């Protein structure tokens, strides 16, 4: 990197700080955590995708597709469940959460079941999200260490301090608008990598002639995920629907965007956009991986620079060695952007859940100035916790990213079952939900220990079905108390779906198009 590249990075970081301070005027918790419920679907959709398609995706997806052993375009199968999951949450969870007027989605579980259910899920969210985000920041710090020539701790501090400052000052508006800008930069950066990768390869024809054909299979219909195999069509569909429905509808970092929409129509459009636009962006990541991976395999000097045990260095090395100055700065900004998107979302959401938990448990009603001051202190504390975790993650980071994904799959299914029961069932009470939640997680743990050949993506579906069945059975065997009836009436379990027939047709059509594109990829690139 030269002075031009560093100037671009400095200007970008400065602009983020200015934006945060320009948006710092908030008068109540809705302003701070929900952007005053004034946000349109376009920035919200970009914000959600920026968090989902994070720095790890920007770096690891191309490495998986282009270089990692056993990788390839099967990365796309992760996306197959998205449109179906959007149908589920638009018809059930999100409309109800939006109309409840809450800040923390776990407030609804307390309204519906009681404090015990709320605390169970809230605590899991807070610590798992802080831990996962800390590991992600550490992984990105290694990449910035290689591209910017700074120490890992300096990269962590650079990323963390700037993100904490602008997200604390600007609240949800700063998070959403910052994410929207970051998503655009990431996409443009990926397109640039595709263009320069083809240029250095010698054009499209040379790429097609040299691409590894074994990496072109995107869907495996003959893999069922029960014999030590993975990425099969069925586990990616059934597990994927549960994973994405739980993540978009039952995880505060994502659902808080939905609660920030100016009206149900914008909420609907935001979810539809994610159901349709995510896949094309993921294809860009994958195609860039195929191209740069093909370049690496045909260039021994390039390949020698990539550590044999860490193919994630493929994209950073490509950026430094094959892109012109100025564009290198923009791509480093793209990596920073992706990391900041995940961190800013985590800080805002963790702060929202923590202060709402505090208010409920202490039974203390804060005035709005005190509420906002405490919210910013909590955001600062969570930012510090996340960055400390990043600083001490070195010994476990190489294996922990996969472990985090697996740990998430232990919980996603049971949590989705609890939220769906809360929204749709009038019979179930706190005891039933808690037994179902704990049992679903325990069953997943037993499967992971005693049936290790079961692909971990199945855990999402197994946990969901187990928890739902147990909640149903216990609700009929154990009667609820009188005060539980009042909670059900107060929460009003009617879902008030905002899903339309056109939405269903659009999302199902997208699902079919995704399958057809995946099937056509081997012939497109051969």
Q: What is the pLDDT of residues 103-121, one digit of tens each?
A: 888 888 888 888 888 888 8
Q: What is the mean pLDDT of residues 463-487?
A: 81
Quick one: pLDDT band at residue 380, thresholds 50, 70, 90? confident
Q: What is the pLDDT of residues 303-321, one digit of tens each?
A: 998 887 778 788 888 988 8
Q: Do 189 and 332 contact (CB within 8 A), yes or no?
A: no
pLDDT of residue 355: 83
Q: What is the mean pLDDT of residues 66-92?
A: 91
pLDDT of residue 24: 62
| Lowest mean pLDDT, pick from 11-25, 113-127, 226-240 | 11-25
- Give me Rg for the CA atoms of the chain: 23
For 261, the 3-state DSSP assignment is strand
Quick one: pLDDT band at residue 419, thresholds 50, 70, 90? very high
Whole-prediction pTM value?
0.85
- Using CA atoms, how far apart are residues 150 and 241, in angstroms rounded to an integer? 41
Quick one: pLDDT band at residue 397, thresholds 50, 70, 90? very low
pLDDT of residue 149: 73
Q: How far apart are the first and last CA of the chain?
A: 36
The string of DSSP codes covering 151-167 is -HHHHHHHHHHHHHHHH
pLDDT of residue 153: 73
Q: What is the pLDDT of residues 140-171, one digit of tens each?
A: 776 777 667 777 677 777 777 777 776 666 56
Q: What is the pLDDT of residues 332-348, one digit of tens each?
A: 877 776 677 667 777 77
Q: What are phi and psi of 220, to 5 degrees?
A: -115, 100
* Whether residue 495 has pLDDT greater than 60: no
Residues 6+ apart with CB under 8 A from 127: none
Quick one: pLDDT band at residue 31, thresholds 50, 70, 90? low
Max avg pLDDT among 6-15, 242-251, 369-378, 379-388: 242-251
DSSP 8-class letter at 36 = G
Q: Do 414 and 463 contact (CB within 8 A), yes or no?
A: yes
Residues 6+ apart with CB under 8 A from 386: 130, 133, 134, 137, 160, 343, 346, 347
Dihedral in degrees, nearest 10, Cα atoms 23, 27, 29, 30? -70
DSSP 8-class letter at 35 = G
CA 137 → CA 350, 387, 399, distances in Å?
16, 8, 15
Q: What is the mean pLDDT of residues 469-484?
A: 81
Q: Which domains does the chain have, with CATH numbers?
A: 3-524 (1.20.1730.10)
Chain centroid to CA 98: 20
pLDDT of residue 400: 47
Q: Tell me the β-bridge partners of 220.
A: 232
The region, left, alpha or beta by phi > 0 then psi within -120 to 50, assigned to residue 363 is left
């Amino acid at each position: 990197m030269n002075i031009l590249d560093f100037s671009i990075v400095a200007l970008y970081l400065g602009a983020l700080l200015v934006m945060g301070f320009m948006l710092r005027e908030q008068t109540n918790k809705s302003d701070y955590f929900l952007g005053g419920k004034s946000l349109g679907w376009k920035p919200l959709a970009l914000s959600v995708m920026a968090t989902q398609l994070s720095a790890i995706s920007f770096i690891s997806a191309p490495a998986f597709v282009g270089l990692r052993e056993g990788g390839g375009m099967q990365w796309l199968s992760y996306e197959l469940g998205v449109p179906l999951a959007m149908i589920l949450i638009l018809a059930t969870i999100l409309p109800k959460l939006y109309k409840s007027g809450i800040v923390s989605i776990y407030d609804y579980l307390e309204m519906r079941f009681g404090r015990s259910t709320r605390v169970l899920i809230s605590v899991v969210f807070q610590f798992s999200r802080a831990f996962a985000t800390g590991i992600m920041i550490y992984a990105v710090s290694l990449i910035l260490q290689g591209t910017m020539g700074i120490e890992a701790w300096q990269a962590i501090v650079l990323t963390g301090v700037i993100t904490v400052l602008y997200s604390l000052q600007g609240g949800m508006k700063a998070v959403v608008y910052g994410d929207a800008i970051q998503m655009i930069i990431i996409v443009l950066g990926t397109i640039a990598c595709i263009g320069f990768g083809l240029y250095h390869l010698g054009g499209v024809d040379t790429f097609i002639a040299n691409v590894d054909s074994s990496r072109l299979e995107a869907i495996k219909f003959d893999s069922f995920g029960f014999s030590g195999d993975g990425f099969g069509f069925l586990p990616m569909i059934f597990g994927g629907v549960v994973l994405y429905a739980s993540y978009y509808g039952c995880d505060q970092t994502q659902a808080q965007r939905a609660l920030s929409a100016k009206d149900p129509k914008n909420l609907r459009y935001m979810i539809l956009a994610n159901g349709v636009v995510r896949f094309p962006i993921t294809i860009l990541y994958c195609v860039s991986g195929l191209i740069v991976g093909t370049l690496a395999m045909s260039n021994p000097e390039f390949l020698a620079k990539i550590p044999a045990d860490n193919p994630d260095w493929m994209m950073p090395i490509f950026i430094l060695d094959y892109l012109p100055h100025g564009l290198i700065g923009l791509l480093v900004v793209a990596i920073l952007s992706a990391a900041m998107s995940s961190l800013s979302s985590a800080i805002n959401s963790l702060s929202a859940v923590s202060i709402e938990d505090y208010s409920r448990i202490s039974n203390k009603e804060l005035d709005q100035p005190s509420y906002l001051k405490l919210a910013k202190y909590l955001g600062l504390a969570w930012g510090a916790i996340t960055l400390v975790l990043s600083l001490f993650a070195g010994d476990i980071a190489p294996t922990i990213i996969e472990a985090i994904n697996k740990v998430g799959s232990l919980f996603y299914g049971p949590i989705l079952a609890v939220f769906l029961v809360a929204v749709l069932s009038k019979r179930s009470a706190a005891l039933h939900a808690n037994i179902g939640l704990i049992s679903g997680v325990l069953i997943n743990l037993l499967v992971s220990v005693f049936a290790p050949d079961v692909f971990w993506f199945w855990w999402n579906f197994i946990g969901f079905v187990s928890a739902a069945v147990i909640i149903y059975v216990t609700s009929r065997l154990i009667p609820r108390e009188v005060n539980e009836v009042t909670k059900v009436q107060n929460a009003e379990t009617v879902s008030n779906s905002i899903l339309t027939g056109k939405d269903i047709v659009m999302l199902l059509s997208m699902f079919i198009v995704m399958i057809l594109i995946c099937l056509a990829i081997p012939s497109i690139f051969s």
